[in-house]
Amino acid sequence: MRHADSVGLAGATFHGDYLAKNQDDVAGGHVTRSSGPLADRRALVTGGASGIGRATAVRLAADGAGVVVNHVGDPHPAEELVDAIVRRGGRAIAIAADVSDEMQVRDLFVRAAEELGVIDVLVNNAGVERPFALTEMPLAEWNRVLAVNLTGPFLCAREFARGLGEVGSDGVIVNVSSVHEVIPWPRYSHYCASKGGLKLFAQTIARELAPNGIRVVNVAPGAIATPINDGLADDADKRRAVEAEIPWGRLGKPEEVAAAIAWLAGPQAQYVTGSTLFVDGGMTLYPRFV
């Protein structure tokens, strides 16, 4: 089941009611620099134009952070999201960049710092996947998935840590992983390899960066109702089969993952680093996966 948001995926619905509700909860309906648990934080969400990334950008802005919505491809979904956040009193900009490209990642962080200040919350959310049996998988497809899903978080985390090191600030990296960092998934060996690799990458750099005041955590969603899983809505049998593997009995919502990301990025999670938080309705407890 796909969890992070495909690079270039467009057309996701903006959850305006969610933003409005959360802004009503924060400073009487307006997100300002001095309100919310993430006040004065500057967050970068890769793959932020749709699905989990979009919900995360909304939530972080509602919690007071300035937000960079990273995207590739069609700029309109990201621009519409930014406009919606700004209209409601938040701070947000959209920046196009391919996270698997070293120079584009460098330019992404430079521009973000110029417009919002040095980024101190990084959400590595961008991801891609496409099913292939091992014997049929092209090398190009293997390389594409690893480049976006694993090299992308490496490049972004490196620039993030360098930027904070220059100013001597603390920060948080939240990687959007997947239940498939621990659950095998036939025909998705490249995706599982990327998420399993992301788990140990996060744990390793968490040890490296802790003395610098930088926490590193993973959020591992289960089956989430994002645009890439729209096929489940049209196929009742397939949806029931997926839901039968979830003890909680339903698909998750992007906002539920975003809430976990926002908590991990905030001050109440200061003692949490090097861990994975599963947001999966108990999917990893399902007997077939043990």
Number of domains making up the chain: 1
| Cα separation values, 101 from 35, 153, 157, Å | 35, 11, 13
**Which CATH number belongs to the domain containing residue 23 in this structure?**
3.40.50.720
Residue 133 counted as domain residue: yes
Q: Active-site residue 191, yes or no? A: yes
**Tens place of pLDDT per residue across the chain (290 aa):** 544 443 332 223 333 333 444 433 333 334 444 489 999 999 999 999 999 999 999 999 999 999 999 999 999 999 999 999 999 999 999 999 999 999 999 999 999 999 999 999 999 999 999 999 999 999 999 999 999 999 999 999 999 999 999 999 999 999 999 999 999 999 999 999 999 999 999 999 999 999 999 999 999 999 999 877 777 767 889 899 999 999 999 999 999 999 999 999 999 999 999 999 999 999 999 767 65
What per-residue confidence (pLDDT) applies to 11?
A: 28
Residue 58 counted as domain residue: yes
Residue 75 counted as domain residue: yes
Residue 10 counted as domain residue: no
Residue 5 counted as domain residue: no
Residue 184 counted as domain residue: yes
Q: Which of 188, 191, 271, 286 is catalytic?
A: 191
Residue entry with tokens 């090299």: 151
E strand segments, 5-135: 42-45, 66-71, 91-96, 121-124
What per-residue confidence (pLDDT) applies to 41?
A: 98
The whole-angstrom separation of Cα 107 and Cα 127 is 20
User: What burial class does residue 113 get, using C-beta atoms within 10 Å of its C-beta: 0-12 exposed, 13-18 middle, 19+ buried?
Assistant: middle
The distance of Cα 29 from the centroid of its chain, to the nearest Å, equals 25
pTM of the model: 0.89
The whole-angstrom separation of Cα 161 and Cα 271 is 19
Note down the domain range covering 148.
16-289
